[in-house]
Chain A
């Protein structure tokens, strides 16, 4: 018995509390279970460990690059601040989890349980009415991170095993139900493209598909518009982040002034020019984001590949729920740009609103929600309600992202580490879930899971004869639909 305790303690100290080895171990075992050769499993192990460490270095860099600015804002204006972006959110969530002395390794277990629960719901789809399997690896990592912090925030006393199981079920339910909601909008947009969206704005897509037709006229669409060519530079992640950060941090650091920055930031050398210091500081965010993405790509690509394999192998007839960018090919390139542009306008309006009404937290636009959420909404809105719907919807979505993000970063205290997840569902439905969890405790969690699971049941009751058909055979669906009308 004592021997077992020693082994367990060794495992706990060296693997379980070291996320990189834990993730590596999971990948290694997973590959062996998938009957891959041992050398591939070993390669997967190394890539997962290295990728994860890269990720940790980068998210540490993001947080520490931000810290002096946060300190300055706190001292001078008693403000906290958060960049609304899933990568900043992930870094802030990790810092929050570790600040209360818990292990971030749980994130990976949460992800696996949530994925398995989604799989289970699809397997029993005749009863659960879930048609989609969420397989977007990097998004699953980000969401598991943020949600892990939410649960620890609401249930600080809960033991690790309890956290992992409860959150696994909650997150798995969200992945299943929300991606399932996008089946109809996606199939109609892509005329039977055979995929749903598994990303960060799934409730948003469903909502847009309900209102876009009522707002605008689909005949007046975006295709005829001529947009200036310089907007294309925003297509590049590094450039767009650099510009956004230069804009926001340029403004903030200028207001704080060189004297204060010298005092709080040791990296600001006495002989360095203030303007160059600002540029360096702002571009550092692009640097760390690029490194972070490299790390995520390294250990996630293995994961996504196995998930895709599982979805092909055992679930014929179900749909993969993939990255929202897969829909962009079905919209005019203008739609993507319009979404970004008006989303940005909406975000800026709301940020000015926060300043005017003296919100205790300042929000800084991050690239990912700004671009990917709003571009996706614009593609769907343009198809159903033309340019008017695309403009109006993305403008309000931008505002929602800021206001919801501000509430979340303040309430869940990730503003302390300068970030919040920031994508549409994480500014609307997830803060609501968080508040319900905080005040409703276990009853709240149970209620959320039951309510979510009721959604596909309601959808099914509305269209019993075509509910599964639209996912399995779109041509036949059109036929049946045509006969009915």
Chain B
């Protein structure tokens, strides 16, 4: 089971959108995952307990420590584009296994 954290500024709106879109993409690709959505501050301190962090491209700088520790960090340009999410998930998760 893949542990995923979706993050945005307030942890209310866009992280939940990311979560819903991720759920769809994971289902399509047959990946089993649990997704938690929250704000960046919380995500930053909890990242070590997760396998993947997904957030907007503009926030990716917050997670440099996490990616240095080997956690997959995915930055999205369009949070609502299932196509982009699918491409990035395939590239960063499926092809790396």
Residues of A whose CB lies within 8 Å of any CB of B are 136-139, 190, 193-195, 199, 232, 235-239, 293, 296-297, 300-301, 304-305, 308, 320, 322-326, 328-333, 336, 368, 371-372
Contacts and interface: CB of A to CB of B under 8 A. Distances in A.
Nearest to B24: A312
A269 to B, nearest CB: 30
10 contacts: A193-B78, A195-B80, A235-B9, A293-B11, A300-B12, A308-B20, A323-B13, A323-B17, A326-B14, A329-B76
Secondary structure class of chain B's binding surface, majority of residues: mixed
Given A193-B78, A329-B79, A336-B58, A322 B10 contact: no
Nearest to A333: B58
A237 B39 contact: yes
Interface in B43-97: 44, 56-59, 61-62, 75-81
Given A301-B16, A326-B13, A330-B77, 19 more contacts: A137-B12, A137-B16, A190-B78, A199-B13, A236-B40, A239-B41, A293-B12, A293-B39, A301-B37, A308-B17, A325-B8, A325-B10, A326-B78, A328-B57, A329-B57, A329-B75, A332-B58, A333-B61, A371-B9
> 8 smallest A-B Cβ distances: which pairs?
A323-B13, A236-B41, A328-B58, A325-B14, A138-B12, A329-B77, A329-B56, A333-B58
A124 to B, nearest CB: 25
A193 B12 contact: no
Contact of A368 (B10, B17, B20, B59): B10
Contacts of B39: 236-237, 293
Given A236-B41, A237-B41, A305-B20, A325 B13 contact: yes
Contacts of A301: 16, 37
Interface of B: 8-14, 16-17, 20, 37, 39-41, 44, 56-59, 61-62, 75-81
Given A193-B78, A236-B41, A320-B80, A328 B10 contact: no
Contacts of A190: 78
A239 B45 CA distance: 13
A237 B8 CA distance: 10
A329 B56 CA distance: 6
Contacts of A297: 11-12
B67 to A, nearest CB: 16
A293 B79 CA distance: 22
Contacts of A236: 39-41, 44
Contacts of A199: 13
Given A237-B10, A293-B11, A326 B79 contact: yes
Contacts of B78: 190, 193-194, 326, 329-330
